[in-house]
Structure formats: C-alpha cells, structure tokens
Amino acid sequence: MKPLPPFAVLPLLLAALAACGDEVPPAPAPAPFPLRAVVDAELAALDRALAAEEGPARGEPADVEQVHGLLEMLASATGAMREIARQEASGLGDPAVSELARVLADPDAKLAIRVSAVEVLGAIDTPRAAAVLLARMEDPEPLVRAHAAWRLGQGAQGWVVPGLVLRLKYEKDHETVVWIAGALARFGNFAGLGGLETVAATAPGEAVRASAGARIAEILAATSFPDLAALAAEWRRGDPGRRLPAPPSSPRTDREVWRLLSRLREFQLRGVDDARWVVSALDRRAAELTARALHDSEVKTRVHAAQCLERMGPRASVAVDELLAGLAEPFLAPHAADALGAIGDPRAAAPLAALLDPPAGYGLRLAAIRALGRLDADVPGAARDRLRSLFAASETPEVRQAAAESLVRLGEGGDEAVLALADLLVSRAVEPVSSEAVLREHLARRAEAGDEAARGALAEWDARALATDRILAPGEAEASRAARREIVRKLVGGGE
C-alpha cells in the first residue's frame, strides 16, 4: 500500500477530532459596540437643516456709501449723534455684512473705522455678522481682536463659543484674553477663568490688570460665587447643583462641535490638538455629542473623542454609559478607561475592576488599574484586594507602579506602597511623573490632616521640584527625584 502523503493526514485528524468531541456551547460574545460614520452623518444632517437659514443674504444689498458714512460718524461723533449712528447701523442687517467684512479686512483702512465696523457687526448680531467677527479674531491688530471679542460677548450668537475657546489657545494680547474670557462667561462657558486670573495677577500694565479684575468681579456677581476658585471648581464638576447659567444650545452650536469632532481624524496632529483642546473646554452638551462620536467608524475619532472626555473630567459624566460600552472596543478601551477614571463616576468601578486581569490586554489593564485609583470610595473591596495583589506580585514595574499609585490614592497601600512609589522615582523602567503627582497628593493630604512632619516634607518636596521654565540639564531631573525619594523615605521611616 502506498503511504499517505503527510498533508492527507490533516483531514483525517480533523474528522477524528470532530468524531471525538462533544458539543461545547460557544462562549458568549461580548456586547457589540456598533461603529458607523457618526460624525459625517451628524454634520450632513445639521448642514441640511441649517442650509435654508444660511442662504444668500436677504434684502436689498446695502448702500455702500451709507455704510461708510455711518462708520465715519461712529468713528468721530460722540454723544447723541453717535447713538443715532449706532442705531441706524444696527438696522442695516445682513445686507451690510459683506461690505463691513471688506472694510475690516482692509489693512489700509483707518483703525478707528475698522473698530467701528466691529461695533456695527456686533449690533447687527446675526450668524453672518458673528462669523465675520469670529474670523477677525485672527486680525493682526490686537484692538480689533479685543473689540470683536467684546462685541461677540454682547450678542446672542452662542455658537461662537468654540471659536472663542480656540482663540484663547493662541491669543497673546492680554486685553483680548480678558474680553474673550468675559464673552465666554456670558455664554456660560468658564474656560477662560484661568487666563483671566493670570492676566489680573501678572500682566504688565495696570490698566489691563484692572480690566481683568473688573471682568472677574462681573462674572462673580453674575454667578453669585464668592471667588474664582469656587466657580472654576463648579464648572469642572459639571455644575451638579445647576448654579451656573445654562450654556446656549442650538443646532448651530452643535454643528460647531461636530466640525471640531470631524477634525479628530486628520493626519496632522496640529488640527487634532486644536479640536481636542476646544472640545475639552466645552460644556455638558458637547460631552453628549462627543460620547456619540465614540461610535465613529474612524478609529482616530474614537480614540481622541475619549481623550476629550477624559480632559473634561466630571463635566463629561453624561458620557459614562457610552464609555463603559466602549470598554468592549479594543482600540478605544484603554482611553475609555482613562476617561472613566477622570470622570470619577461610581458606575465605572465594577466594569473597571473586571479588567484588572487577562484576557484584558496589557495596556487596558494598566489603564483600568490607574482609573480605579481615581474613583476613590467607590472601588469595591474585591478590587482593592486585587490591586494589593497586583502590587505585591510585581508582574512588571509598570503594573506595580500603577497598582501602588491607585492604592496610595485610595489610602490602601500603607507605607509599603508609598515607599515603592518613592523608589520608582529613580527607576528607568517607568515614567515617574504620575508617581510624583500621587506622592505629592499624599503628602498634601497628610499635611492637611495636621501631620506636621508631612507638612515639612511637603515644603521640602516643593523646594526640590523640577524647574518647568527651561530645558533641564543632563542628570538634573534624576538628582531632583533622588532627593525627593529621600524626603519620602525619611517621612515614612524607610530612610537611613
């Protein structure tokens, strides 16, 4: 008999295995996380809905001479004459917008005339007029930018908020920063508070500092908050007590958000970073739309949408359900875990605890370990036990570090976890910045609780902190971290 060729054995093998096997029920499939072209579809729908409104300017074209006459009068007249001119100008409406835009874009036009054009556009206060003002937020002349921000803040076009937030990222003129922050606050967005506070405290020039101080006073009066820190904290928490003015919501505002979300898939990270920066600084409604974008078929959109929600923090609590569902999508999952940790919603505790071990991937496990540490009291006992065993097992330096950080944050790891983090400050195997933050939080917590030794250690720690205003010399970071390791070791009894 001719011997069988080796490959002929395979079908026999398969047949035999099939004959031997009893039926095994298939493993339950993970809950599907549907993907589709979310961003394109939402944008197209809004474009269609808004198309009718955004057709050509209605009415007779403006009388160019009349427009210029009014601009001259606004630039030169005072008192009642000026008020008459302003009222007449505001009645010009959309037909005048294109001529006003032309004047504003003319570098040879007198500055006073250009500023008057800004005023008239602000008085017209239509989407078309506001779009021109928003575009002029990139005008080379700071006075034009500052006036445009002010006028936008006086109007009713809340959809300009994302555009104003983007300008905050690039604006260098202190006065303009003040007016952008003021305009944003009027629309219920408090992303400009930090800039306002910085200008009020450090800007060169008394006038601009006073201007910032006046805007701060206005904002606090309008919101009934005692100070900026309390207001900023409420904004970051997502205004759970509904104490802040409701941000304007409209299809036009939504479209601006979707336009930003559509940039998340761009190849060049420059546009991605702009969009991420703006979306992260928006309100609950933006978080809601961003949560929908987690289902986009483009992976970059999903990942960066999750990063936006992470940076929003508790303000993005509306996205928790979608983020939890996103833990089933391999590309999205680690970023969804990060976002859930930053939001700090107790609903995330059990699903994150289920990801501490394989088959969850290594990156997802790390993200879940870190995220649990940010959920504070909501972490179940079993998950705390597992964090302790992950810390003790030292599977990799990263897992040990992540577990130690979470344990210290949860107040669970005792001195052993604190010492481990201090030692990891000088390890080349892990990124030390997150451990530095956790250790500082730990020292601050103890100091706040009245621990005098911790208070001293915290002062020493801060004195040895890394410089952030220059490139560090070789070995400088290592020396600083080694010194801070000793501060911690001395405090918790691990030092020499």
Under the binding rule (CB under 8 A), the answer on residue 28 touching other proteins is no
Read out DSSP for 75-115?
Answer: HH--HHHHHHHHHHHHTT-GGGHHHHHHHHH-TTS-HHHHH
- CA–CA gap between residue 442 and residue 413 (Å, rounded): 11
Peptide bond into 28 cis (omega under 30): no
Name, in order, each residue with C-beta under 8 angstroms of 149's C-beta and a sequence gap of 6 or more: 137, 164, 167, 176, 179, 180, 182, 183
Shortest Cβ distance from residue 113 to other proteins (Å)? 24
Under the binding rule (CB under 8 A), the answer on residue 473 touching other proteins is yes
Shortest Cβ distance from residue 230 to other proteins (Å)? 24
Under the binding rule (CB under 8 A), the answer on residue 338 touching other proteins is yes
Under the binding rule (CB under 8 A), the answer on residue 13 touching other proteins is yes
Shortest Cβ distance from residue 177 to other proteins (Å)? 14
Eight-state DSSP code of residue 379 = S
Q: For other proteins, which residue of 156, 233, 362, 393 counts as binding (CB under 8 A)?
A: 362
Q: For other proteins, which residue of 39, 364, 383, 443 counts as binding (CB under 8 A)?
A: 364
- Crossing angle of helices 414-424/476-492, nearest 10°? 160
Q: Looking at this protein, which amino acid is placed at residue 482?
A: A
Under the binding rule (CB under 8 A), the answer on residue 472 touching other proteins is yes
- CA–CA gap between residue 424 and residue 400 (Å, rounded): 9
Q: For other proteins, which residue of 17, 24, 80, 449 counts as binding (CB under 8 A)?
A: 17
List the structure tokens of 398.
């990263």
Identify the three-state secondary structure at position 296: strand
Under the binding rule (CB under 8 A), the answer on residue 392 touching other proteins is no
What residues pair up with 296 in beta bridges, in sequence order?
36
Under the binding rule (CB under 8 A), the answer on residue 16 touching other proteins is yes
Nearer CB in complex with other proteins: 262/307: 307
Q: For other proteins, which residue of 47, 91, 331, 385 counts as binding (CB under 8 A)?
A: 331
Q: For other proteins, which residue of 429, 459, 465, 482 counts as binding (CB under 8 A)?
A: 429
φ/ψ region of 204 (left if φ > 0, alpha if ψ in -120 to 50, else beta) reads beta
Shortest Cβ distance from residue 146 to other proteins (Å)? 17
Q: For other proteins, which residue of 272, 291, 372, 438 counts as binding (CB under 8 A)?
A: 272
> CA 104, 163, 213: angle at the middle one, nearest 5?
90
Nearest to 142 by CA among 208, 237, 96, 222: 208
Q: How far are the Cα atoms of 13, 14, 308, 320, 427 from residue 288, in angstroms, in the given order?
A: 54, 51, 11, 10, 40
Q: Which stretch binds other proteins (CB under 8 A): 13-21, 100-108, 207-215, 286-294?
A: 13-21
Under the binding rule (CB under 8 A), the answer on residue 477 touching other proteins is yes
Shortest Cβ distance from residue 478 to other proteins (Å)? 10
Under the binding rule (CB under 8 A), the answer on residue 176 touching other proteins is no
Beta carbons of 16 and 90 less than 8 angstroms apart: no
Under the binding rule (CB under 8 A), the answer on residue 334 touching other proteins is yes
Q: For other proteins, which residue of 44, 201, 476, 495 counts as binding (CB under 8 A)?
A: 476
Q: Is the dihedral of CA 209, 214, 215, 217 positive or negative?
A: positive
Q: For other proteins, which residue of 63, 88, 125, 273 counts as binding (CB under 8 A)?
A: 273
Q: Which residue has the tokens 């003002």?
A: 133
Q: Which stretch binds other proteins (CB under 8 A): 115-123, 147-155, 265-273, 314-322?
A: 265-273
List the structure tokens of 238.
């997502």
Q: Which residue has the tokens 């911690």?
A: 488
Q: How many residues in the shown chain lie near other proteins by CB under 8 A?
A: 50
Under the binding rule (CB under 8 A), the answer on residue 110 touching other proteins is no
Under the binding rule (CB under 8 A), the answer on residue 340 touching other proteins is no
- CA–CA gap between residue 16 and residue 10 (Å, rounded): 10
Task: HSE, CB side, 13 Å, CA atoms: give it for residue 413.
Answer: 30
Under the binding rule (CB under 8 A), the answer on residue 267 touching other proteins is yes
- Count of positions (residues) in the chain: 496
Q: For other proteins, which residue of 88, 398, 416, 451 counts as binding (CB under 8 A)?
A: 398
Under the binding rule (CB under 8 A), the answer on residue 9 touching other proteins is yes
Site map 59..98 versus other proteins, x via CB under 8 A: ----------------------------------------
Site map 289..308 versus other proteins, x via CB under 8 A: ----------xx--x---x-
Q: For other proteins, which residue of 354, 433, 453, 459 counts as binding (CB under 8 A)?
A: 433
Q: How far are the Cα atoms of 149, 178, 202, 203 from residue 212, in angstroms, in the given order?
A: 14, 6, 11, 9
Nearer CB in complex with other proteins: 46/294: 294
Under the binding rule (CB under 8 A), the answer on residue 135 touching other proteins is no
Shortest Cβ distance from residue 444 to other proteins (Å)? 19
Our CA dihedral for 10, 16, 20, 23, rounded to 10 degrees, sits at: 60
Q: Which residues bind other proteins (CB under 8 A)?
A: 6, 9-10, 12-17, 19-20, 169-170, 172, 266-270, 272-273, 276, 299-300, 303, 307, 311, 331, 334, 338, 362-364, 366-367, 396, 398, 428-431, 433, 468, 470-474, 476-477
